[in-house]
Every structure is written in structure tokens, then in C-alpha cells.
Amino acid sequence: MTDVLLSIGGSDSSGGAGIQADVKTFSVLGAHGVSVVTTVTAQNTMGVRSIFGLGREAVSAQLDAILEDFSIGYAKTGMLHSADIVSLVADRIEDAKIKLVLDPVMEAEAGGRLLDKEAVEVLRRRLVPLARVVTPNIFEAEALSEVPVTDEESAEKAANAILRLGAEAVIVTGGHLEGPDILMEGNRVRLIGGERVSGGGHGVGCTYSAAITAFLARGLSLGEAASRAREFAAASISRSHRVGRGASPVNQAGRLVEDAERFFVLTEVERAVVSLMEDSSLRILIPEVGSNVGMAISAATGSRDVAAVEGRLVRAGQKVHRSGCVRFGASDHVARIILAAMSFDSKIRAAMNIRFDGAVLEVCEDRGLKVASFDRMEEPTGADTMSWGTRQAIREYGSVPEVIWDAGGVGKEPMIRLLGVTAGEVSTLAIRISRTLDGNL
């Protein structure tokens, strides 16, 4: 049965933080998210414009509706805004015996005070003692503990002070100190590190605490939940989208979408390879060094993001065979061609190299294909031929063509490259060329 997780907090009109971030995180991690809105904010990626706190009756009615229908094992709180709402939430969490992850949201990442000063004391006294874990950043840890946090040692002191308020555990997130998160549970202190990543951070705190909630609900230990939540938050940052003019929101579904796309690309290249091997005419396009077909994911930055045939396609008698399986990172050669083309047009994500022949070029021109070339004699010293040549041909042509050729050089076999949107498109083009050429022989 799917876990139902409750988010109690503010609504972010920009969609990056608050209950919107929580529900997206719950969903990506396999749970169903329900929410109770405490505050409506008018904000965007540049900051909070206005805050409209809901009254006790409105928040209470939402809690009644949720708890009447759903079995809630875990909840997380975010922006509670006022002392009255903090007290109300504490009463309901305690009565319903719900395990709580407390994210003591006080200020927005994009700027703006989100918790009344008088509510901090009520939070310390009423809600912290109910928490399975409290997840403050260093500024929130200072406010709750009254311990200035400037380094790892003082962060531990602040965490210990929050523990003494009654929480089962505390995680002081280390992002603002550019260090590890500090998990304190009982007398044990654990540092939770991770790779620092670049990207937008709007909503990362909400995402992190929501991920901890989801992992705890699955039955993971707090240490494992925190470690996996940090990894999830980092992946969400690295895949953030620039959607506004300020702090970019994190993208919780980024890794999920990328994984799905990688599966699609692998499948697409595999289908292309099978179609190439099944067509006997294709043998005449395989060069002495072998051929390969590849395709990149949309956010490709290196060969690890380009799938191709390991060991290339080779000619053996009247057939085309492959030397290995389709995998990412299998061909730096094809990857460099595709990445160079993508730097001009991100839609062009597939390529295949075929044998150079004047007759092949004539077929391409007769079919009305866009054809460009480069001269290896002009290649700068130390340049990578595939990257430089592809870019050179595109620059001179003025756009990305479907065919790029070169006449080779000393110790370099001349070659033709076919470019397209998908591996299937490129393989279909190669087969049409080979059939036309085979019929003319």
C-alpha cells in the first residue's frame, strides 16, 4: 500500500518550495502527498512579495479533512508562520500520534521572513519535543538553540541544545558552511557528507526534509534516510531549470526523467543497430575502421551521456555484425561528433559514421540532403578531429547539416558522418542511401 505523507506548510506561488516542493518530492519517491496550507505567499524566484496567513479555523478544517480519510504515519512541517498555528499543529500531531519531521522554516531562500518572531518560542516549547527529527539550517539552528553557529563544532553545540528541548534527533544542514550535515541522535554524532553540486537551490531545504520523511516512512534508519535524502537533494539541484530571473527551483523529478530518457536512448540505439544488421545492403557503407551509431540524452555533457555500440559495427562477408552491446560511454568518437553538433542545435542528438565515397555523396545530394565538409589540413595542432571538424563544417555551412564529410589526411581514413534527431532517423537514412547505392552498382 502506498504511504500517505502529510505536508503542513506554506504555499509557494512560484512552485519551487513549500508544500509544492514537498508533494513533488513525496510523489517522486513513491508516496502520495497530502497537504495542509497554513500560509499563502505571493512570491517568485526573486523573493517573497506578500504573506497571507490563514486563520486557525481554515487550518483546522484542512487537518480534520485529511485525518478523517487518510492514515498518516509521517508528516513534515514547514512554514507555520504564527504562534497560534504552531500550537494548533502541535496539538493535532500529538493527538494523532503522527511521527514528525520538523523543518523549522524561518526565512525563504529567495528572501523574506516566514515565521513570526513570537512563534519561535512556541515552536521550541511545543513542536520540537514532538519531532522524530528537526532539520534546521545554521540560521534556524541558531534561532532555536541560541548558540551562534560558525563552524562544525558550534553546529554540534547547537544540535545538542535542540536535543535538550526534547527532539529525538537533529540534523543541522551544512550547506551554508559548505560542509557535511551534522546528525545528532542521543549521544551519537554522525557527519553526512556528499558531493557539492552546482545549480539552483530554491526549495532545497523543503526537498531535503521531505525526502527524509519519505525514506523514514519506508522504514529506513535515520542515518540512511538522511544520507539518501542529501543525495536526492543534490541530484535535484544539479538538474534544476532556469525558469525565472532569480534563484532557480530544484527539480525533484530530474533524475527520474533522466533515467527514463536513458532507457529510451538505449532502446532507440538498439533498434537502430538491429535494423542496420538486418539490411544486407548496409555492408557497402561500412568503412575499414568500422562504423558506429550513437545517440545522446538531451542534457548530454560528455561521452557518458551518449549510447553507442561497444566495439563498433563491422563488415563480415555479406553481413554487418556488431562487436559488442549498446551502452553509454561506448564510443568517444561518435560522442564527440554528437556533442559538437548539439552545441549548435540541441535537437541533433544522433550520428553515424559511414564509408567515404563520391558515389555516396552523389546519392546524398540527389536526395536533397544538406551536405557540408571540412579539411583536415586546416586542423589546429592539438585539436580533436571529430569535435573540431564537426564544428568547422557547421560554422561554414551556417547550420547543422545532415551529412558532414572529409577527404582524410596522412594516416586518416576519409569519412562521412550522418546526423539526425534520433538513432532511428540516422539508421533509416543510412539504409536508404545504401539501398540506392546498391541498386546502382
Q: Which residues contact 44 (CB under 8 A, 6 or more apart)?
A: 13, 14, 110, 244, 246
207 in the same domain as 87? yes
pLDDT for residue 196: 79
Provide the total of helices (H) and of strands (E) in the chain, helices listed first: 13, 18
State the pLDDT confidence band at 236, using cuts at 50, 70 and 90.
very high
State the pLDDT confidence band at 176, using cuts at 50, 70 and 90.
low
State mean pLDDT over 278-293: 94
239 in the same domain as 301? no
Distance separating alpha carbons of residues 374 and 371, to the nearest angstrom? 11
Distance separating alpha carbons of residues 65 and 43, to the nearest angstrom? 27
410 in the same domain as 307? yes
285 in the same domain as 309? yes
176 in the same domain as 312? no
User: Whose grid coordinates read 562521412?
Assistant: 416
120 in the same domain as 17? yes
| pLDDT(194) > 80 | no
pLDDT for residue 265: 98
| pLDDT(14) > 90 | yes
Among 67-71, 105-109, 417-421, the least confident range:
105-109
132 in the same domain as 70? yes
**Which of 13-44 are b and which e, b meaning 16 or more Cβ less than 10 Å from the residue's Cβ?**
bbbbbbbbbbbbbbbbbebebbbbbbbbbebb
State mean pLDDT over 211-231: 96
State the pLDDT confidence band at 105, using cuts at 50, 70 and 90.
confident
Which domain CATH number covers 106?
A: 3.40.1190.20
State mean pLDDT over 221-248: 92
| pLDDT(193) > 90 | no
Question: Which H or E element spans position 183?
Answer: strand 181-185
State the pLDDT confidence band at 241, using cuts at 50, 70 and 90.
confident
For residue 51, give the 3-state DSSP assignment: strand
Domain end: 225, 251, 277, which one?
Answer: 251
Q: Which of 215, 217, 145, 155 is nearest to 189 (CA)?
A: 155
pLDDT digits (tens, 9 = 90+) for 320-372: 999 999 999 999 999 999 999 999 999 999 999 999 999 999 999 999 999 99
Domain end: 207, 235, 251, which one?
Answer: 251
pLDDT for residue 382: 84
Q: Which of 82, 73, 75 is nearest to 36 (CA)?
A: 75
Give me 205's grid cell. Answer: 531545504
pLDDT for residue 438: 81
Q: Amino acid identity of 3?
A: D
DSSP string, 14-25: TSSSHHHHHHHH
DSSP string, 319-345: EEEESS-EEETS-HHHHHHHHHHHTT-
Distance separating alpha carbons of residues 206 and 21, to the nearest angstrom? 6
174 in the same domain as 34? yes
Domain end: 231, 251, 271, which one?
Answer: 251
pLDDT digits (tens, 9 = 90+) for 376-408: 989 898 888 899 999 999 999 999 999 999 998
Q: What percent of the chain has pLDDT over 90?
A: 80
Q: 73 in the Ramachandran plot: left (φ > 0), alpha (ψ -120 to 50) or beta? A: alpha
The more confidently predicted of residues 110 and 254 is 254
Which domain CATH number covers 318?
A: 3.40.225.10
Domain boundaries, position 133: 4-251
147 in the same domain as 29? yes
| pLDDT(306) > 70 | yes
168 in the same domain as 82? yes
pLDDT for residue 177: 62
| pLDDT(1) > 70 | no
Mean per-residue pLDDT over the chain, rounded: 93
pLDDT for residue 198: 85
246 in the same domain as 265? no
185 in the same domain as 123? yes
Distance separating alpha carbons of residues 81 and 9, to the nearest angstrom? 9
Domain count, the chain: 2
| pLDDT(179) > 90 | no
